[in-house]
Amino acid sequence: MAAGGLPDGFVPGRHLIDAYGNGGFRFAEMSHRGSILVLPSGIRAWSTTEPKAIDRAALRPVVAEGRAVELLLIGTGLDIAPFPDSLRRWLKEAGIGLDVMQTGAAARTYNILMAENRKVAAALIAVA
């Protein structure tokens, strides 16, 4: 896969995030420009480009993973952005904990928790 994007917007399997920045991410021996959802089922392109666009529709693929996800890390870019209480409650009702942080910190934390075989997912907004 050449640099530029995910084939069909999805690559199956669990993968570490090898690098981030310059508007995208590197993982699974490929690179992708833009934001990503990192799920137990695989990594998919995520159209979200700013924190205020994160809503139920944007996070529905995370909730669809069911019991495979116990913690969602949200990387909101270069700055930590507030996260609506209604979305926090919705995730909690689905049995998913939430931690919101800068994208770089979220990617690093995801790698650590995945290496520990934790039930973790990440929603990462790309940064320049």
DSSP string, 53-87: G--HHHHHHHHHTGGG-SEEEEE-SSS-----HHH
Q: Integer distance in angstroms from the first to the last C-alpha of the chain?
A: 22
The reported pLDDT for the residue numbered 6 is 58
pTM for this prediction: 0.92
Residue 23 — φ and ψ, nearest 5°? 80, 15
4-16 confidence digits (pLDDT tens): 455 567 889 999 9
88-124 confidence digits (pLDDT tens): 999 999 999 999 999 999 999 999 999 999 999 999 9
Average pLDDT (76-87) is: 94
Average pLDDT (17-45) is: 95
Regarding the domain delimited by 7-124, which CATH topology (the fold level of the hierarchy) does it fall under? Hypothetical Protein Mth938; Chain: A, (3.40.1230)
Write down the mean pLDDT value for the chain.
93
Is 90 exceeded by the pLDDT of residue 3?
no
Starting at the edge strand that comes first in sequence, how are the strands of the sheet with 10-12 ordered?
A: 10-12, 42-46, 35-39, 120-124, 71-75, 97-101
49-77 confidence digits (pLDDT tens): 999 999 999 999 999 999 999 999 999 99
Domain residue ranges of the chain, discontinuous segments joined by +: 7-124
The reported pLDDT for the residue numbered 8 is 67
What's the number of CA atoms in the CB half-sphere (13 Å) around residue 84? 10
